[in-house]
Amino acid sequence: MVRTQQQRRIDSIIVNGLLIMICLISIFPVAYALSTSFKTQREVISKPPYLIPQNWSTDGYDQVLKSSLIRPHLLNTFINATGSSIIIVVLGVLAAYAFSRYKFPGNKLLQLVILGMIMIPTLTNLIALYRLGSQFDLLNTNIYMILIYVANGLPFGIWIIKAAIDAIPIEIEESARIDGCGPLQVIRYIILPLALPGLVTAFLMEFVFFWNEFLIAVVMLDNNNAKTATVGLLNFQNSYQTAYHVWMAGSVFIIAPVLITFFVLRRQFFRAMLQGAVKG
């Protein structure tokens, strides 16, 4: 059955048409938030609503810039998300390499236990973590948030990275071993370059997750200097009203950096995902 030229063209139009529609649905809410962020308070509550601001205004941004959303909140978000994602990837590589390349009693069981930690509801641990933090005088510090995030994201990170290491043929390492390389050297010189897309994927997924993390932060953080951006956003929403243009301007500041990070890393990420970074 050979399809004719015309059929192909129709196929192509349908395919592209549907995809364009999906893309529009995907970006519309964010684009509208961007548009709202440039409206005035008055225009935000105009009936009927406008798609594009009638009078462009930076009032929302002015208020955000005056507030502590950028400094310290967004800075905290940056420190916590970057710090925890990097540590997760480093620890994850070591652990995943052990799981992937060594036979030892309990290997499978330990993997299952760690994977099972993904099933723990987030709120479960928070009371204990709060007490632990206060005992070690670590509450409201970036370090403690990073430590919590690392433990929280590590199971998923190990899982992703193990899939990437599993995909590397073992023969490549064997020659290095014969040359006398230890496991750390093998990881450094063979695994890291070959598993890079997988590691980037793990990093990006953890980074996006912890950049946006809300539940842990809102319970754990009591201090204005330690709050992260998603929690700090609540500063613009008090009891009975939300200043939507300010809120949306704040949201733009939160979305932009992580969107740029995604854009920079997207090739490696897509490549790894398409090669099956997340496996059954």
- Cβ–Cβ under 8 Å, residues 129 and 148: yes
101 binds another protein (CB under 8 A): yes
Site string for another protein, 174-213 (x = CB under 8 A): x--x-----x------------------------x--xxx
Residue that the structure tokens 């500041």 belong to: 253
Kindly state the tokens that stand for 157: 């990170």
| 158/200 Cα distance (integer angstroms) | 13
Site string for another protein, 26-45 (x = CB under 8 A): xx-xx-xx--x-----x-xx
Residue 79: CB minimum distance to another protein, A: 17
Look up residue 11 and give its DSSP letter: H
Residue 168: CB minimum distance to another protein, A: 13
Neighbours of 93 (CB within 10 A): 24
Among 10, 172, 192, 259, binds another protein (CB under 8 A): 259
Binding to another protein, residues 68-97 (CB under 8 A): 68, 91-92, 94-95, 97
62 binds another protein (CB under 8 A): no
6 binds another protein (CB under 8 A): no
Kindly state the tokens that stand for 218: 């809102």
The length of the chain in residues reads 280
| 175/86 Cα distance (integer angstroms) | 29
Nearer to another protein, 195 or 254 (CB): 254
Residue 70: CB minimum distance to another protein, A: 11
Let me know the angle formed at the C-alpha of 136 by 132 and 137, rounded to the nearest 5 degrees: 110
151 binds another protein (CB under 8 A): yes
Among 12, 54, 175, 185, binds another protein (CB under 8 A): 12
273 binds another protein (CB under 8 A): yes
| CA dihedral of 41, 43, 45, 46, whole degrees rounded to 10 | 160
Phi then psi dihedrals of residue 103, to 5 deg: -100, 125
Nearer to another protein, 212 or 268 (CB): 212
Residue 30: CB minimum distance to another protein, A: 5
Site string for another protein, 107-146 (x = CB under 8 A): x--x---x-xxxxxxxxxxxxxxxxxxxx---xx------
264 binds another protein (CB under 8 A): no
Binding to another protein, residues 217-256 (CB under 8 A): 218-219, 222-224, 230, 233-244, 247-248, 251, 254-255
**Cα→Cα distances 99→19, 104, 158, 231, Å:** 40, 9, 9, 37
Kindly state the tokens that stand for 109: 């069981």
58 binds another protein (CB under 8 A): no
- Cβ–Cβ under 8 Å, residues 93 and 188: no
